[in-house]
Structure 1
Amino acid sequence: MSTNTNENKDQFRQPDHEHDHFLLTTVVGSYPKPKWLNRAKDLYEDEESDFDDENWREAKDDAARVITDEHERAGLDVVVDGEMRRNEMVEFFAHRIEGYEFNGPVKVWGHNYFDKPSVVSEVEYDDSWLVDEYEFTAAASDRPVKVPITGPYTLANWSFNEAYEDDDELTLELADLVNEEIEKLVDAGARYIQIDEPALATTPDDHAIVGEALEHIVADIPDDVRIGLHVCYGDYSRIYPEILEFPVDEFDLELANGDYEQLDVFKDPEFTKDLALGVCDAHVADVESVEQIEENIKKGLEVVPPEQLVVSPDCGVKLLPREVAYGKMANMVQAARNVEADLDAGEIDIEHGAPTPADD
């Protein structure tokens, strides 16, 4: 893991970036799937259809190109393919790890289900999980590509454990597998990896095992590879400042949905990592104005200086209407560029971590 987070972040600055300041813009991961991709999936799963493996693969490739291009058109500095090949964040990986099996769908909220897996034997790494996905996206885009990976704590916590003494042991075993996958991604050219641990904020007393797992994950990873940790929702005061000890470059946090009520949590002690601040609410199907997002970005400047700030939506936006998701991304990028211009012009003073108008 890099010890120079500024240099680590600046590698993603576009050559034609027009401002001296640089607020990296990206997405957390998931994005609404084109409606035709869902119809293609139905055809593929219909035993009476002749929509075969080759057709299904082509449909997913086309969707990945479309969404990657959509991220570029929105102006994002770092893109993702919107996880077009993934179904659910645990189920997708469990299908690719030896030792898991599936026993049918489990309701998670409302009318939503996922196929909750069971760990029935020792977990083992077989074929790569994401290298093909990364290489395809990198070839389809001129922008740097971020790779989100569901973290080992969530993979363990959101599964039935029938093989290990406890979830901590399973978590560390899975962390070693994640490390193997990241090494292959790095060899393929990936330089931005995001570990998703939504389970952490719901069981915050387990931050110690998450930190230990991250130590396994980043072992022998080169310094120029950016490692982020995404933790959505929950009571952050129960994991801060302990998470500052985690061996990552940035923390990606969901704060817009709570109207930044937890922002003060991160002001004392000093936030020493990069902050990937959620500035668009992924749970609201309205497009925030550029002006509103600018104000949200400035809230991040109350916690960290500009060189430590990354701008993203709160969480994955896959449940939003696609036109809303795009509108949020495009306005988010424009807002970030406007704040950069204001910083360059000296119109935002940052004193003691609190941004104020320069003429106040």
Structure 2
Amino acid sequence: MAIKNHILGFPRIGLNRELKIAQENYWSGKISLIDLLQVGKNIRKTNWKNQFNSGIEYVTVGDFSWYDHVLGTSMMLGNIPNRHRLNKKKIDLDTLFRVARGSVDIGKNCSASEMTKWFNTNYHYIVPEFIKDQEFYFSWKQVIQETDEALSLGYKVKPVLLGPLTYLWLGKVKGIYFNKLDLLNKILPIYKKVLEEFHSRNLEWVQIDEPILVLDISKEWKKAIKYAYNTLNGSIKILLTTYFGDVHHNLDIINTLSINGLHIDLVAGKYDLLDFSNTVNNKFLLSLGIINGRNIWKADLVKWFHQLKSFMKLRKNFWISSSCSLLHVPLDLSLEDNLTDFVKSWFSFGIQKCLEISILSRALNKKIDIKEIYNWVKPIQAYKSSNLVNNVTVQKRLLQISSEQCTRKDTFSVRSDIQKKNLNLPVLPTTTIGSFPQTQEIRELRLKYKNKKISQLDYERLIKKQIKNNILQQEQIGLDVLVHGEPERNDMVEYFSEFLEGFVFTKYGWVQSYGSRCVKPPIIVGDISRITPMTVMYSKYAQSLTKKPVKAMLTGPVTILCWSFPREDISKEEISNQIALALRDEVLDLENSGIHVIQIDEPALREGLPLRTKEWSDYLRWSVQSFKLCSSGVKNSTQIHTHMCYCEFNDIMPAIVDLDADVITIETSRSDMELLDFFKTFQYPNEIGPGVYDIHSPSIPSIDWIEKLLIKALRYIPIEKLWVNPDCGLKTRNWTETSLALQNMIKATSNIRKKFLKK
């Protein structure tokens, strides 16, 4: 029997980010809903064509999303928070956008739903909200409509759904507490209806994603999984899909499920394939995820060919696939014209990964000569011997890292007194997270400089003009700790990477982070060192414009690592420490230039955490060390800040304390400061700024709203340790929104100061 192939999902932003452009044009009223829908249809049509032309047998349908696939599942189930409804039953695309972005149009309390990270990736999803006695109904039939589109074009279709148990796991109970699993019987009939719709179209397989099966789940959840798939079993074959880890610890329940196939991630999971085959139910079709859906390096097809040839002696019927959805990688390597052919030959993007899967399946089926596989992997051998990879100086410096380099000179209590005297800040100091609006003028300026249409001197002069305006705006608003606003920065990781040896950069390597937000991760190809100071000139200039302290902004080592495509030939710990040493040099240069407040952002610290708790301690050991390596060389008088956003912090709070940052600013506004409940029992020893408004929503927070959040924060955090700030950078907002929101934040802070300092 022939070995078949498929993928778990495909990038959905379009070759030139057509989805992003259309979304933002629709939100601003520049195009109609019909225009937006047509862009989506065109992207889907092109995606299916690319998969088919690359040799993928089953095109994946249902992986397209207007914002994120978890929110799409909420729409399918009619799970829309009441504050976002205009009509009790009607749900449309505008409803979806209101849930994701909030709205100022339909009432005072139309805040966006909470957003957080999708497992251990930099992809975000809108967190489902559940209330007691909630009802669901099949209200959003996008996956059915898209299935019909693909069938009409003659493709062999495999639709994908987010599994019911993973969906419930990802959601949060609001209001009166109850067990989320009580809702399972209410959503299963909708899933069953969707499967019947697929069956009526004569589809053979449906892919149902249950990535929670790689996590540590309780007996109660295991029992619910068995019940769910017994209920869903029947009309169509179910391929249960797992990824981001392995499932050995949950095989006791997986082996009993009423499913037809199981997908495993052989890249992230720790599998001995032959041993696993003996322990998993032999009635299951196995789908083997062998092509890395989260990194851009070419796969070693020779290694996989020989492993799978051996595996064919045990199982003649299996599929090969990507390890997870390809939404985490760029679309097409062939577009890249700014990389040398030598470097480019090391990589594989979405379309090329489909081709890798096709080549391997055809070789296993003896439809092509094995020489094609050997030719494919030749660049991998060339990479290993390249002089772009190894730097003896960096490697020697790594060996000399000491514990003294990772420890501040004195404890926080000593440092805090010195810093308060040095900075002379009021109670409840106000600041922002770093970036200010990236206007069209700023984007055009950077583009002109990139295309060498203006000189470096003219570029720096015009950037300084933007910085001067940012400082003036902040002083007029009344902020206490200012920032230069980052007009020179395209992205918080890519910008720094351009000053570091060991990175290369793509021109079109965009990846969706959420909604219309796309990032272009740099690629780590070799040992990392700082080429030249990265932030000193503009930070020093900004400080020269004001008597108030200006906070320098850096991206931390773990975040640069997690938000880049890393090397696969050395450990992540080693890469992170290389970056930390480069940043340490920058921190010391900033201090020597007269900057007394330095923020080192680590929003990806939680994201990088392994999914199994037994693996946490080692990761937290080296990630905390990397942060301290870059931040601990400064004097007591220099105040180190860090920032984190859109993830679950509670379970790693001891590690966050170990960072020993003088101030941490965190995202809490979308969750109504839910995180602060943690501080009922946990005393955070240093200073903290829980974000008081959501910068990803166009809604302007009211003074009253911010006051209420600050009062809630003061229940758990002493006033002398509390900072006031937005929950993230302001680059995506316009100046009108930014000014009004910050003015309200300052006014609310002033009111709270008066109220609490009288006591």
Matched residue, 1:352: none
Distance 1:276 1:9 in 2: 16
* Cα distance change of structure 1 residues 289 and 111 upon mapping to structure 2, 3 Å threshold: closer
Which residue pairs with 2:496 in the alignment? 93
Deviates more, 1:102-111 or 1:248-257: 102-111
Instruction: Please say if 1:285 is aligned against 2:285.
Output: no
Q: Residues 26 and 78 of structure 1 are in contact (CA less than 8 Å); yes or no, is this contact kept in structure 2?
A: yes
Alignment equivalent of 2:540, drawn from 135, 140, 148: 135
The aligned residue for residue 203 of structure 1 is 608
Instruction: Give, in whole Å, the separation in 2 of the partners of 1:285 and 1:136.
Output: 31
TM (norm. structure 1) is 0.88
Give the percent of matched residue pairs that are identical in Structure 1 and Structure 2: 26
1:107 has 2:511 as partner: yes
Match of 1:273 among 667, 686, 703: 686
| Match status 1:298 vs 2:703 | no
Query: What corresponds to 1:11 in structure 2?
Result: 422
Instruction: Note closer, same or farther for the CA distance 1:186–1:214 as it changes in structure 2 (3 Å cut).
Output: same
Q: CA deviation at 1:42?
A: 4.1
CA shift for structure 1 position 111: 4.3
Specify the SS of the correspondent of 2:671. Answer: coil
Distance in 2 (alpha carbons) for counterparts of 1:112 and 1:279: 22
Q: CA deviation at 1:255?
A: 0.4
- The 8 Å contact of residues 201 and 232 in structure 1, kept in 2 or not, is answered as no
2:685 maps to a residue whose letter is T
Q: Which amino acid aligns with 2:576?
A: T
SS of equivalent residue, structure 1 residue 292: helix
Aligned to 2:561: 156
* CA-CA distance at 1:115 after TM superposition: 3.1
Q: Structure 1 unaligned segments of length 5 or more: list them.
A: 347-360
List per-residue Cα deviations over 1:310-359 (Å, max 9, x = no partner): 1110010111122111111121112112111112211xxxxxxxxxxxxx
- In 1, Cα distance between equivalents of 2:695 and 2:420: 24
Corresponding position: 1:40 with 2:449: no
Q: State how far apart, in whole Å, the 1-side matches of 2:680 and 2:620 are.
A: 19
Checking the alignment, whether the CA contact within 8 Å between 1:134 and 1:190 is kept in structure 2 is: yes
Q: Deviations over 1:251-286 (max 9, x none)?
A: 111001211122212332212111112112111212
| Residue identity in the other structure for 2:561 | A
Amino acid at match of 2:457: E
Q: Which has the higher contact order (CA 8 A, sep 6+)?
A: 1
Structure 1 residue 131: Cα displacement? 0.7
What's the CA shift string for 1:36-93, capped at 9, x where partnerless?
222333444557xx54433322221111111111111110001011111111011000
**TM-score, length-scaled by structure 2:** 0.43
- Equivalences for 1:40-59 in 2 at 5 Å? 40-45=445-450, 50-59=453-462
User: Is 2:446–2:488's contact at 8 Å kept on the other side of the alignment?
Assistant: no
Which deviates more from structure 2 when the two are superposed, residues 154-163 or residues 182-191? 154-163
Q: Counterpart in 1 of 2:176?
A: none
Which residue identity lines up with residue 434 of structure 2 in the other structure? G
> CA offsets, 1:150-209, max 9 Å, x none?
000011112222275111111112111111111110000111111111111323344332
SS of residue in 1 equivalent to 2:419: helix
Q: What secondary structure is seen at the aligned counterpart in 1 of 2:642?
A: strand
- 1:150-299 alignment, distance < 5 Å: 150-162=555-567, 165-204=570-609, 205=616, 206-299=619-712
- Counterpart of 1:326 (choices 733, 739, 746) is 739
**Offset at 1:7?**
4.3
Contact 2:418 2:636 in 1 (8 A): no
The reply on whether 1:28 has 2:437 as its aligned counterpart is no
Pick the structure with greater CA Rg. 2
Question: Could you say what secondary structure the match of 2:435 adopts?
Answer: coil
**Shift in CA distance, 229/44, structure 1 to aligned 2, threshold 3 Å:** closer
Q: Is the 8 A contact 2:464 2:538 kept in 1?
A: no
Structure-2 residue corresponding to 1:122 = 527
* Mean Cα deviation higher: 236-245 or 254-263: 236-245
1:239 CA drift (Å)? 1.1
After the TM superposition, which of the residue ranges 112-121 and 80-89 deviates more from structure 2? 112-121
Cα distance, 1:231 vs structure 2: 0.8
CA RMSD in angstroms comes to 2.0
Name the CA shift for 1:163/1:132 in 2 (closer, same or farther; >3 Å). Answer: farther
Output the CA distance in 1 between the equivalents of 2:747 and 2:657.
Answer: 30
CA distance in 1, matches of 2:580, 2:679: 27
Map of 1:338-349 to 2, 5 A cutoff? 338-346=751-759
Contact 2:489 2:495 in 1 (8 A): yes
Q: Residue type matched to 1:64 in 2?
A: I
1:117-172, CA deviations, whole angstroms, 9 ceiling, x for partnerless residues?
Answer: 12222111221111101111011222110011100001111222227511111111
The question of whether the paired residues in 1 share the 8 Å contact of 2:624 and 2:655 is answered with no
Deviates more, 1:124-133 or 1:110-119: 110-119
Q: Is the 8 A contact 1:241 1:269 kept in 2?
A: no
Structure with greater strand percent: 1
Q: State the distance in 2 between where 1:327 and 1:207 align.
A: 39
Gap change, CA 1:339 and 1:6, over 3 Å in 2: farther
For 1:112 and 1:304, the matched residues in 2 are separated by 33
Matched AA of 1:331: N
Distance 1:154 1:230 in 2: 11
Instruction: Give the Cα–Cα distance (whole angstroms) in 2 for the partners of residues 7 and 191 of structure 1.
Output: 12
Query: Using the alignment, how far apart are the partners of 2:636 and 2:457 within structure 1?
Result: 39
AA paired with 1:167? Answer: K
The CA distance in 2 between the partners of 1:315 and 1:11, in whole Å, is 26
Q: SS where residue 434 of structure 2 aligns?
A: coil
Residues matched between the structures, number: 338
SS of match in other structure, 2:525: strand
Q: Which residue of 2 aligns with 1:355?
A: none
Given that residues 280 and 293 in structure 1 are in contact (C-alpha distance below 8 angstroms), is that contact kept between their aligned partners in structure 2?
A: yes
Give distance in 1, aligned partners of 2:608 and 2:680.
23
